[in-house]
Amino acid sequence: MKIMHVVGARPNFIKLSPVHAALASRSGVEQVVVHTGQHYDDLLSDLIFRQLAMPRPDRNLGVGSGSHAAQTAAALTRLESAMQDIRPDMVLVYGDVNSTLAAALAAAKLHIPVAHVEAGLRSRDRSMPEELNRLLVDRLADLLFTPSADADENLLAEGTDPERIRLVGNVMIDSLVRLLPTAETAWPGIERTLDLADRPFGLVTLHRPANVDHPEAFGPLMAALCDLSRDLTLIFPAHPRTRARLAALGPLPPHGPRIIAPLGYLEILALQKHAALVVTDSGGIQEETTFLGVPCLTVRPNTERPVTITLGSNQLVGQDPDRLRRAAARILGSQGKAGGVPPLWDGRTGERIADILTVSATPAGHDRARPADREERHVRH
């Protein structure tokens, strides 16, 4: 059985790692990792592979940046060629980035079964490119590996055949469980470097266009963070695009958040673990803080991970700076939300996925033609 994993962005790599490791221990499984190159700088790509202790991708397609249409089209074209060359029995895709959609579409057109890891998540906000990707990938995929019961409910409400759905848990938590001890070992050095010893601090991560690309939204949010930083040291690792938007707003006051260079996965994990609170618009960090029991304020009007709110320690504050101020004040006043860990977020999701894939490479009722037959049929078509 030959499995082709397609990844393109940092969150994909974190989700890939446990699945790849679990399949590596199974006999008769050959794995090929294809990196589209959607994220291509060291901190977003090379470093994360090193920290996850994963082998280098077998192929890097070098797609790079561009508009959503250009990036998806480039990935689609290059992935189709790679699939015809690799001839996998199944393609695994992860999350909701443009590379995920391109891979699912390329595989479906070549009649190669597709499995979607982290299926069924919905924000119900179609202004988000990721939401469109989720909807389309879940329609194309043959196996839908879901992280939580609400994802199953979403898929069933959309008319998905229950036989395609497998509730396996959150694969992001597998990586967290495995690497948290390493992050804790590194914490004293991180604490010294950032001068955080013996003082509470908060972590800020903002990158979504709706928050950082529009000064009328980003300016008031930064003003609220500056107010908060009078009472709490705020560490804000900012990627180059976000830093450019910050520069356009003008200089921050001396007491404002500390803007630092992007950090690796282990460093971000350690900061989350020790933070008094986290302010973010990241989906993955909503999940990680939920597992860690750290109060999280999500600067979005909605989330595709509602279980982090209903069961976890996450709260939505929208883009309202006053809501952000009030929620942060409650947390700092020891009135924050405690929350709990959702079922199956136990560090064993990768093993459950590997079990399902190795019991049956193709879902019941799917075209079981050999890869060569599929390709020949595609060419004739």
Q: How far is the C-alpha of 241 from the C-alpha of 243, rounded, in Å?
A: 5
Backbone φ/ψ region at 111: left (φ over 0), alpha (ψ -120 to 50), beta: left
Q: Which two tokens stand for residue 90?
A: 């199944």
Strand arrangement of the beta sheet that strand 30-35 belongs to? 59-60, 30-35, 2-7, 90-94, 114-117, 143-146, 165-167
Q: Which of 5, 20, 35, 207 is catalytic?
A: 207
Which residues are bridge partners to 277 per DSSP?
Answer: 202
Cα separation of 255 and 261, whole Å?
18
Residues 366, 185: Cα–Cα separation, whole Å: 47
207 catalytic residue (yes or no): yes
Q: What b/e sequence results for 46-70 when a residue is b if at least 16 CB atoms lie within 10 Å of its CB, and e otherwise?
A: ebbbebbeeeebebebebeeeeeee
Rounded to 10°, the helix 283-292/10-24 angle is 60
Tell me the catalytic residues. 207
